[in-house]
């Protein structure tokens, strides 16, 4: 993040005493880490007030980050508070904050901090860095430019943001600076062993059984280069695992040798399927997501297909083949 960007954010927030902090619906490790780190700085070091409100509950595996229960859902906010500004993390458009948007007055100043290349620049101040491996990198830069104290709690929160949004440093977005920054966070108190245990090695028995079921029905096609996982509403009911706990399930698709494109399709309703996409190497799955009105990053994207599960699988396979053909043509030129 540039010094001028940090100055613009500081200037917008200077008169604010109470702010709303939010991020995309169904918050993940990056968005939660950024929100909690910014909240700690704003309340503990600036001595001001902030509320974190999201569309979607805090996943169980991230609860260790929020022992005070600071992260709340829209349903827990019975009436709109008086906020002087809104800080939005990791949202390509304002409607991505879901039901929280109903709390945002039309004229309120909005700080938009994001690393998605398709950002619609909806804020009063917009800071976009598509080269950042995680929004957590941008928040780290911002706090350093403000000469904030990186406490062990902030270091842990931002480490979670970076570790999760890089796929444990697997995605191509991971740069030497990402690793240098993570090392600095470790020196400032981040415990990578503890956070890895909490996030990746703490499945409940039911969650583990669900994983076994889903992987047992994996569809591997296109000569072993595409792996699709499907999860019906009936499966979720059978194993009792809520949707918010399913982040990371799609990553198993890339654990099969030779697979270049993976996806998890989750049934949201009779005619609605949510798709999470992953890829290895430089294959750009955001192009696939874009065909269905979604988006994201080169190696991690998502979209929603307004079709039943079986038809969504067929439509997704067709889209993957279409994007792969177009990619081969581009590289042949």
Token reading at 187: 């020196």
For residue 331, is pLDDT > 90?
Answer: no
pLDDT digits (tens, 9 = 90+) for 155-198: 999 999 999 999 899 888 899 999 999 999 999 999 999 999 99
Compute the average pLDDT of residues 118-142. 95
- Across 58-66, average pLDDT: 93
Residue 93 contacts residue 112 (beta carbons within 8 Å)? no
Residues constituting the chain = 333
113 contacts: CB under 8 Å, gap ≥ 6: 9, 34, 87, 88, 89, 90, 127, 135, 138, 139, 142
pLDDT tens figures, 74-118? 988 877 788 999 999 999 899 889 999 999 988 999 999 999 888
pLDDT at residue 172, as a whole number: 83
Q: How far is CA 26 from CA 73, 103, 177, 293, in A?
A: 10, 17, 28, 18
Please tell me the predicted confidence (pLDDT) of residue 333: 61
What percentage of the chain carries pLDDT values higher than 90? Answer: 77
Whether 39 has a pLDDT exceeding 90, the answer reads yes
Q: What is the largest CA-CA distance in the chain?
A: 59
Cα–chain center distance at 333: 35
Q: Are 119 and 133 in contact (CB under 8 A)?
A: no
Question: Per residue in 241-269, pLDDT tens?
Answer: 888 788 889 999 999 999 999 999 999 99
Pairwise pLDDT comparison (203 vs 150), residue with the higher score = 150
Rounded CA separation 263/274 (Å): 10
Taking residue 222's Cβ as centre, other Cβ atoms within 10 Å add up to 15
pLDDT band at 119 (very low <50, low <70, confident <90, very high): confident
Instruction: Indicate the SS3 state at residue 144.
Output: helix
pTM over 0.75: yes
pLDDT reading at 330 higher than 80: no
Query: Residue 318: pLDDT band by 50, 70, 90 thresholds?
Result: very high
* Domains of the chain listed by start with CATH number: 3-200 (3.90.1640.10), 205-332 (3.10.310.30)
Q: Per the structure block, which two tokens stand in for 285?
A: 């799955």
Question: How confident is residue 329, by pLDDT bands cut at 50, 70 and 90?
Answer: low
User: 267, 268, 287, 285: which is closest to 277 by C-alpha?
Assistant: 285
DSSP conformation class of 63: G
Indicate the burial class of 188 (C-beta count within 10 angstroms; 0-12, 13-18, 19 or more).
middle
Instruction: Indicate if the pLDDT at residue 124 is higher than 80.
Output: yes
Predicted local confidence at residue 264, as pLDDT? 96
- CB burial class (10 A; 0-12, 13-18, 19+) of residue 257? exposed
- The pLDDT mean for the chain works out to 93
């Amino acid at each position: 993040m540039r010094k001028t960007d940090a100055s613009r954010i500081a200037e917008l927030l200077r008169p604010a005493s109470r702010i709303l902090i939010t991020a995309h619906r169904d918050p993940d490790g990056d968005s939660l880490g950024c929100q909690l780190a910014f909240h700690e700085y704003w309340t503990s070091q600036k001595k001001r007030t902030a509320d974190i409100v999201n569309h979607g509950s805090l996943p169980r595996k991230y609860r260790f980050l929020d022992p005070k229960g600071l992260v709340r859902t829209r349903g827990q906010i019975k009436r709109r508070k008086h906020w002087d500004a809104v800080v939005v993390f990791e949202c390509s458009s304002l409607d991505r904050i879901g039901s929280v948007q109903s709390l945002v007055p039309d004229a309120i100043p909005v700080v938009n901090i994001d690393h998605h290349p398709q950002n619609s620049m909806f804020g009063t101040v917009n800071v976009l860095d598509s080269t950042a491996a995680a929004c957590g990198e941008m928040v780290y830069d911002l706090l350093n430019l403000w000469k904030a104290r990186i406490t062990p709690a902030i270091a842990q929160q931002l480490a979670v943001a970076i570790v999760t949004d890089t796929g444990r440093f697997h995605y191509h977005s991971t740069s030497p600076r990402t690793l240098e920054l993570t090392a600095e966070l470790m020196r400032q108190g981040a415990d990578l062993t503890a956070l890895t245990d909490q996030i990746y090695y703490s499945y409940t028995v039911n969650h583990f059984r669900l994983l076994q079921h889903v992987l047992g029905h994996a569809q591997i096609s296109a000569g072993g280069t595409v792996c699709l996982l499907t999860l019906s509403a009936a499966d979720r009911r059978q194993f009792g695992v809520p949707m918010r706990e399913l982040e990371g399930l799609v990553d198993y698709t890339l654990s099969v040798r030779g697979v270049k494109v993976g996806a998890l399709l989750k049934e949201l309703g009779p005619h609605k399927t949510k798709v999470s996409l992953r890829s290895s190497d430089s294959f750009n799955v955001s192009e696939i997501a874009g065909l269905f009105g979604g988006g994201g990053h080169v190696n991690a994207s998502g979209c929603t297909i307004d079709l039943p599960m079986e038809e969504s699988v067929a439509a997704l396979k067709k889209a993957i083949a279409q994007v792969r053909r177009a990619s081969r043509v581009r590289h042949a030129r």
